[in-house]
Structure 1
């Protein structure tokens, strides 16, 4: 199944998609690919807000657009080890609660949740770029985070406890 089909299916039933992904081959490259794809889309989602900041700063603004984009890219890239640590901590926490998963499954679950949330991340980026700070951005940000948590916790339940989510 195509990754975009899996993302759409995740919005309908995240547990079923996660069980199917966890039943697949265990390659660390797959987990890393999910994370890199999610981070690349997150970086792209920053572009409208970066452009807005550049336009509002004017031609004599303190930071040129190229520097903003490079800083944003390096910031997103710096999140790679952070997400690996979060996955490991989630596996340890689930282990204390009686989970039977693995560190690999914890990485797949977290990285897939990030990747499956990217449509919402892109929407948030557009709202940040076109509307700027305000209640609209707050609503979309909270909704995006809630969807991410839904995917992540449903996936953890499937990976650690074999729960039918």
Structure 2
């Protein structure tokens, strides 16, 4: 099934079934990395309205602000997500989980991509209203959905054993 349809399914029914299906296809690091990079790219694009507003209000250079956001979202944050996925896997294994490092990465990266539409909403609200209650509420909703998706997806991934991924 397509990524957009899978994102919709994650919102309607939760991410567990989607992650289960991706795990059943076997370890595929390029697919997991694509989920992460598409999610980070969407959030990078989501920053543009806020950055344009900031540039107009402060007289700062929009291109410079976008360049810094590009560095952060497409270089630094992916490394942070890899580190968090490793830490999540280590904690899961210490608590008796049977999952694989790939499963932990897939769970996190898919959750990030699946929650990215709310990141786009947060960016749009920030562009229209600046630092406001509406922006904060949209951001809280985005983070809450990401954490909930990640929790559920990680529970699914921690059940999968090495070698049990093959369909």
**TM-score normalised by the chain length of structure 2:** 0.92
Residue 74 (structure 1) aligned to one of 71, 74, 81: 71
2-structure distance, mates of 1:102, 1:140: 33
Is there any run of 5+ residues in structure 2 with no aligned partner, and where?
A: 161-167
Aligned residues: 158
Within a 5 Å distance, the mapping from 1:104-119 to structure 2 comes to 104-119=102-117
What SS does the corresponding residue of 1:117 show, helix, strand or coil?
A: helix
1-structure distance, mates of 2:28, 2:113: 17
Within a 5 Å distance, the mapping from 1:11-160 to structure 2 comes to 11-13=11-13, 14-57=15-58, 61=59, 63-76=60-73, 77-160=75-158
Q: Which runs of 4+ in 1 moved over 6 A?
A: none
CA positional deviation for 1:101: 0.2
Is there any run of 5+ residues in structure 1 with no aligned partner, and where?
A: none
CA positional deviation for 1:26: 1.4
Across the aligned residues of Structure 1 and Structure 2, the Cα RMSD in angstroms comes to 1.0
What SS does the corresponding residue of 2:42 show, helix, strand or coil?
A: helix
2-structure distance, mates of 1:125, 1:38: 14
**TM-score normalised by the chain length of structure 1:** 0.93
